[in-house]
Amino acid sequence: MNQPNDVKSASRTIDVLDLLAANGDGLTLIEIASQLRCPKSSAHGLLATLARRNVVKVTKTARGAVFSLGHRSR
């Protein structure tokens, strides 16, 4: 998690990537926000940016939109 001199958004982005790496089947927005203890809107902003940059991918499933690592992060 965050260290005293970390840039908060960079640190949170790495936390998202670590979380997705540990959950190969992917996670929903609510699951990610809950596990990172951050607002859903903040998690959504990070995930949307990462998805546009192909760092994470979004798959529509019965659970809803599921986020997992994209091809640029493997």
pLDDT at 72: 73
pLDDT at 48: 96
Q: Return the domain boundaries, the chain.
A: 8-73
Residue 73 has pLDDT above 70, yes or no: no
pTM of the model: 0.86
Report pLDDT digits (tens) over 7-64. 888 999 999 999 999 998 999 999 999 999 999 999 999 999 999 999 999 999 999 9
Q: Is 8-73 in CATH node 1.10.10.10? A: yes
> CA torsion, points 73, 46, 60, 67, in degrees to nearest 10?
40
Distance CA 37, CA 31 (A): 10
